[in-house]
Amino acid sequence: MDIGAVVILFVVPAAIVAAAVIGFFFGRRDRS
Amino acid sequence: MNGTLWALVLYLAGMVAIGLWAARRSGRNLGEFYLGGRRMRDFVVALSAVVSGRSAWLMMGVVGLTFVYGVRIAWFIPGYVTMELFMFLYAGRRLRRFTGRYGNVTFIDYLATRFGDRRGVLRVVAVVIVIIFFTAYVGAQLKAGQIMFNDLLGWESVLKGIVLVAAVVGAYTILGGFRAVSLTDVVQALFMILGLVVLPIVGFAVAGGPVTAWSTLQEAVSAPGSVFELIGFGSLAGVVSGLGIGLASPGNPHIVVRYMSIDRPERLRMAALVGTVWNVLLGWGAVFTGLAARALYDPAVIGDAQNRAFLHMSTELFPPFAAGLLMAALLAAIMSTADSQLLVISSSITRDLRQGVFGRGRAMRDTVAVTWGRVSVGAVVVAAALLSWVSAGAAKGGVFSTVFSYVLLAWSGLGASFGPPLLASLYWRRVTWGGALASLISGTAGCILWVASGLKARTDINEILPAFALSTLLLVVVSLLTRPPAEADEFLGAMAPTGQGDRTSGGA
């Protein structure tokens, strides 16, 4: 199995979605 | 009429119907026509911002190039997805707060206010850049539509497909303005996901399942290197260039203006989550579609494989009506981008040029302003169709032989010109009017010269990287040499969160 291909095809998109989830739950909230 | 055509006709009629529905509100004033009254919901902004940025470049270009060159094309995706996540979460919120407080309706409106453009020079230069790149950008989308219709229906005429796509996009944009464009974007986002998720799944299944398809791909050899070779086009430059495409996202006004339209800045957090999931599914869906095509077909057998992989796969694997829906997904990518860009050019002409420069900022009567908006959308769509028609014959075999390369120049040109001033305006107190002007001009010139001089072809480095670097350098140097605006503190303060939950609706 080609590790590089696995990284760009699966690991990178999963990491970006994880960053979006973290940003949503833990990102800076505006005061209300 | 066969099933494919029925599916397409239904889709196109649906788009015009949305335009008719949205027309009830869009004519009230320019704020409604160009920004949906700053009342757009989070998921509408999320999907609209994402699909406005993902055009035929993704569904024809990325799919086709992955089919021919393999996994290395995936390097084009993470840069812009990550940059747009940052824009949703941080920069977009600052921009929305400022534009709400100052009543800015267009992207250029914002730059003019933030940089204190009293004589209108910055506005004029920005409008010229918008017209140059966006007319070509819309032209490229129309060209992609023409390729699709000619392929599907066996039309010989170059003009027919261009006119059909231009007429439908023009009709609903003129009728419903920003609201129609955003709502059609939501429907188009659903079609695009359908296309880029269903097509690779079915493709891999037909190729014998994922395991068999994976082995087929590993055996496939494309020049240069195998389908799985990661370092793009034989060099590190390919990887860096691919990732660098993301630098252009903040400078593309048709995406950025979406953040300005949300009802409350705080809601951009939810838009970030929805938009990023959509962006990831679309981006990697396109890569997997190209790989599935490669597991099924030999690129040498399909004529013009870099443009036609998606079309070929849809018509080969699906019955006519389903293939029609997949074609509608491609049309969705084309139209969701073209409509947003038409509105940006039209707003630049009406709000920035007619009202801001020639009208010296005096308000126009609402009905007159919206009429200007509608007429300018019509004029621009005709100009883009003509450009597309003329270039369809001339571009064969040249640097712009693929929709991909045609779009990349416009995307990069806008990104290098507007990206550095926008980001600096949101975070850097010291940036000045002169720095912004130097950045606009050098970004545009750098991009065009990099391609025209042949340096792009020789180095494998996309135009965005050198042009963005030059534009940023001049922005910093000229800003440090000139006097900062007196209102810098007040402006940056207007971007900070307020104590009232940011319910700034703004006027206009």
pLDDT for B325-351, tens place per residue? 998 888 888 888 888 888 888 888 888
Q: How many Å lie between the alpha carbon of B3 and the closest alpha carbon of chain A? A: 35
Of A8, A12, A16, the CB nearest to B276: A16
How many structural domains does chain B have? 1
pLDDT for residue B503 is more than 80: no
Q: Give yes or no for residue B229 having a pLDDT over 50.
A: yes
Q: How confident is the model at residue B158 (pLDDT cuts 50, 70, 90)?
A: confident
Report how far residue B278's alpha carbon sits from residue B400's, in angstroms, rounded to the nearest whole number. 28
Taking an 8 Å cut-off on Cβ atoms, the answer to whether A8 and B273 are in contact is no
**Token pair 């990102």 is at which residue?**
A27
To the nearest whole Å, the CA of B47 is away from the closest chain A CA by 15
Smallest Cα distance from A30 to chain B, Å: 6
pLDDT at residue number B96? 96
Token pair for residue B56?
């035929």
Q: Is residue A31 part of a domain?
A: no
Give the pLDDT score at B358. Answer: 80
Whether B168 and B377 have beta carbons less than 8 Å apart is answered as no
Whether residue B42 lies inside any domain: the answer is: yes
pLDDT band at B505 (very low <50, low <70, confident <90, very high): very low
Digit-coded pLDDT (tens) for B277-311: 999 999 999 999 999 999 999 888 887 788 889 99
Residue ranges of alpha helices (H) inside B348-463 are 366-394, 403-427, 433-452, 455-459
Q: Is B78 close to A17, i.e. CB distance below 8 A?
A: no
Residue of A nearest to B284 (CA): A9
Q: Which residue has the higher pLDDT, B27 or B38?
A: B38
DSSP-based three-state secondary structure for B226: strand
In chain B, what residues touch A4 (CB-CB under 8 Å)?
A: 71, 228, 230
**Is residue B106 assigned to a domain?**
yes
Is residue B61 in some structural domain?
yes
Q: Percent of chain B, pLDDT > 90?
A: 47
Chain B partners of A12 at a C-beta cutoff of 8 Å?
A: 74, 78
Cβ separation of B273 and A9 shorter than 8 Å? Answer: no
Contact B232, B242 (CB under 8 A): yes
Longest dimension (CA), chain A: 51
Residue A2 maps to a domain: yes
Q: Is the pLDDT of residue B223 over 60?
A: no
Confidence of residue B13 (pLDDT cuts 50, 70, 90): very high
Separation of alpha carbons B76 and B71, rounded Å: 10
Q: Do B284 and A24 touch (CB under 8 A)?
A: no
Taking the C-alpha atoms of residue B188 and residue B328, their distance in angstroms, rounded to an integer, is: 8
3-state secondary structure of B361: coil
Cβ(B184)–Cβ(B334) below 8 Å:
no
- Give residue-wise pLDDT tens across range B365-375: 778 888 888 99
Which residues of chain A have a CB within 8 Å of the CB of B265? 30
Cβ contacts of residue A27 below 8 Å, gap of 6+?
B89, B269, B272
Does a structural domain hold residue A12?
A: yes
Contacts of A21 in chain B (CB under 8 A): 273
| CA nearest neighbour of B107 among B82, B78, B133 | B133
pLDDT in tens, B435-461: 999 999 999 999 999 999 999 888 878
pLDDT given for residue B501 in this prediction: 42
pLDDT confidence of residue B403: 63
Q: Which residues of A touch chain B, with CB atoms under 8 Å apart?
A: 2, 4-5, 8-9, 12-13, 16-17, 19-21, 23-24, 27, 29-32
B215 contacts B228 by C-beta, under 8 angstroms: no
More confident residue, A2 or B38: B38
User: Looking at the domain assignment, is residue B196 inside a domain?
Assistant: yes
**Closest Cα in chain A, distance from residue B489 (Å):** 20
Alpha-carbon span B441 to B436, nearest angstrom: 9
How high is the pLDDT of residue B508?
42
Q: Which domain holds residue B319?
A: 3-397
Q: Does B506 score more than 50 pLDDT?
A: no
Mean pLDDT along residues B28-56: 87
Residue B446 lies in a domain: no
How far, CA to CA in Å, does A16 sit from each of B80, B178, B180, B194, B378? 11, 29, 30, 21, 39
| Residue at B330 is within a domain | yes
Identify whether B438 is part of a domain.
Answer: no
Q: Report the DSSP beta bridge partners of residue B356.
A: none
Cβ–Cβ < 8 Å for B271, B46: yes
* pLDDT single digits (tens) B199-215: 999 999 999 999 999 88
Domain count, chain A: 1
**Spatial separation of the C-alpha atoms in residues B133 and B27, rounded to whole Å:** 27
Helix (H, G, I), strand (E, B) or coil at B15: helix
Q: Is the confidence at residue B146, as pLDDT, over 60?
A: yes
CATH number for the domain that contains residue B299: 1.20.1730.10
Is residue A1's pLDDT more than 90?
no
Is residue B167 included in any domain, yes or no?
Answer: yes
Question: Shortest Cα distance from B458 to chain A (angstroms)?
Answer: 26
User: Searching chain A, which residue's CA lies closest to the CA of residue B211?
Assistant: A1
Domain boundaries, position A14: 1-26
Query: Predicted confidence band at B235 (pLDDT cuts at 50, 70, 90)?
Result: low
Take residue B87 and report the two structure tokens written for it: 């824009």
Query: Residue holding tokens 């999931």?
Result: B277
Looking at per-residue pLDDT, the higher value among A31 and B421 belongs to B421
* Interval B82-97: pLDDT, tens: 999 999 999 999 999 9
When pLDDT is cut at 50, 70 and 90, the band that residue B399 belongs to is very low
Contacts of A20 in chain B (CB under 8 A): 85, 272-273, 276-277
Say if residues A16 and B280 touch (Cβ distance below 8 Å): yes
Q: Residue B255: is its pLDDT beyond 90?
A: yes
What is residue B40's three-state secondary structure?
strand
